[in-house]
Amino acid sequence: MKAWRVHPGSEAPETVLGPRADGWTAEGDTPGQDGVSACSTLAALKSYIRAYSLNPQPGDVVLELLGQPIHGARVDPGECRVMVREIVAVHRLDILDSVDESDE
């Protein structure tokens, strides 16, 4: 499945693929075990950011991911968990500016 997530610009996108040598993983997720949190569409990501009052910072990016959905995972409405196989693209945050949330 394709999935989207906001990722800190200060961290390498590859942290969604697995832990770094020091054991740190993307935002505390454990990619090798539980996958990472994401949204299934850009519209869902934009809605999720608004619904949970997230505050992406300048320099943060939107990752376009391919992976296997993790069924039965406990997630917030609008969220999914994905075992990431590949980072398809890294986009600037302004990719969300033209997204219509009603397309969700």
Number of Cα atoms under 13 Å in the Cβ half of residue 46: 15
Mean pLDDT estimate for the chain: 84
Residue 10 is encoded by which pair of tokens?
């200060």
pLDDT of residue 29 exceeding 70, the answer is no
Q: Considering the entire predicted model, what is its pTM?
A: 0.83
Residue 24's pLDDT band, with cuts at 50, 70 and 90, is low
pLDDT, tens digit, 9 for 90 and up, residues 67-98: 999 888 778 888 888 888 999 999 999 999 98
Identify which has the larger pLDDT, 29 or 40. Answer: 40
Q: Which class for 99: exposed (0-12), middle (13-18), buried (19 or more C-beta within 10 A)?
A: middle
pLDDT of residue 60 exceeding 90, the answer is yes
